[in-house]
Amino acid sequence: MKSNTRKTLDEFIIERQDDFQYSTGELSRLLNSILLAARVVSYKVRKAGLIDIIGAVGTTNVQGEDQQKLDLYAHNIFVETLVNREIVCGIASEENDNFITIQGLDQSHNNKYVVLMDPLDGSSNIDVNVSVGTIFSVYHRISPVGTPVTMEDFLQPGVNQAAAGYILYGTSTMIVYTTGFGVNGFTLNSAIGSFYLSHPDMKCPEDGNVYSVNEGNYVHFPRGIKNYIKYCQEEKENRPYTSRYIGSLVSDCHRNLIRGGVYLYPSTLKTPNGKLRLLYECNPMAFITEQAGGRASDGNRRILELTPTELHQRTPFYCGSKNMIDKIEEFIANEEK
C-alpha cells in the first residue's frame, strides 16, 4: 500500500465532515454503523462452508426468490446495528415486504435519515465461493421530523440520495461509497479491523472492452439489446469485446468501474419490467457510477431521475462506461423508431 493511502476510513470521514450538508454528525455515525455490520458479515462470509450458514432456509422473499441463510443473517446484522445506534428513522430491505419504522429509546422519531439496502447481493453464489456484496442507499427523510416515517420517505428518486455505497466480500473486503463528492474505495485490514484508503478518487473509464450480461437469456432480450451484443462481438476496430459475467451485481459493476466496461440487465419476455430493484440495487449503483464519471440508464432515461412508485419496483438496468451506455441507448432508440 502506498504511503499516501494509509488513511483509515474513520479519518477520511472526519476530514470530509464538511461535505455532509445539513448534517451534525449523524451521517458520519450512520456510515460507521454500516462499517461495523460489514465487518461482522465479512467474518461470517469467510467462514461459509465451516459453519452452517450456506444454503436456502426454505422461505421466499417478497419477490418470490428463495432466501439464503446468509441473506437473512446479513439483513438481521445490518438492521440490528442501525437500530441499536439510534441513527435512522426507517429501513427498507430487499428481504422485507414493507419498510421498518424506527423510534428512539425515548419513543421519539427525530432521526433524519432512511436507509435502503440489499443486505447480500449475489447470495446464491455463496455455495460455490464466488464474491458477493452489500448495497446501501441513504436519503434524508421528507416527512416531518418527530413523526413516524412514511412510504414517501423511501419512494424518492435517486438524485435525492445523500450517500450510497457497496461492500464487496471478495479476495479482500472493500467498501466503495460516495456522498456526492466523488467515489473512494477502502480495503479492510482484517488483522486490526480497520478499512484503509486503497482506491482514492475512483474514475470510471469513458470506454471499455468488457460487456457483462447473462447471455443465457439472449433469446428473450429486446431486439435492440440483441443487436448491441452482436455489435460487441464483431471483429471491427477495437472489437470484439470480452464477455465477463459473474452473476453478482456488486462484483460485475466493481470490475467495470475500475477497468471500464458495461453491465446489462435488460427486460425479457419473462420480466418485461426488468429484474433488478430500482431502490435497493440500481439507484445506489447508479449514484456511485455517475460520481465516478460513468452513466446508468434504463435504456431510455437516466436511472437517478426515475420516480419510484413501489418499494420493490424493478427496472431494466445498464451501467458503466459513458460511451458504452451511449451506444446501448443508440441501439435501443434505433429499434424503437
Round to whole Å and give the CA distance between 206 and 327.
12
Q: Taking 50 as the threshold, does the pLDDT of residue 327 lie above it? A: yes
| 12-21, 188-197, 301-310, 323-332: the lowest-pLDDT one | 12-21
Strand runs labelled E in 179-331: 183-189, 194-199, 210-212, 242-243, 262-265, 276-277, 295-297, 314-315, 317-320
Residue 51 DSSP one-character state: B
Question: What is the per-residue pLDDT across 21-34, written as a single tens digit (0 to 9) for each?
Answer: 555 578 888 999 99
* 15 annotated ligand-binding residue: no
Percent share of the chain, pLDDT over 90: 70
279 is in an annotated binding site: no
263 annotated as belonging to a binding site for a ligand:
yes
CATH class of this structure's domain 210-336:
alpha beta
* 123 belongs to an annotated ligand binding site: yes
Q: Let me know if domain 3-199 sits in CATH 3.30.930.10.
A: no
Q: Is 281 annotated as a binding residue?
A: yes
Residue 22 in marked binding region:
no
- Tell whether residue 215 is among the known ligand binding residues: no
State yes or no: 177 annotated in a binding site: no
The pTM of the full predicted model, rounded to 2 decimals, is 0.92
User: pLDDT tens digits, residue range 227-259?
Assistant: 999 999 999 989 999 999 999 999 999 999 999
- Each domain of the chain, given as residue ranges in start order, spans 3-199, 210-336
User: Between 140 and 105, where is the model more confident?
Assistant: 140
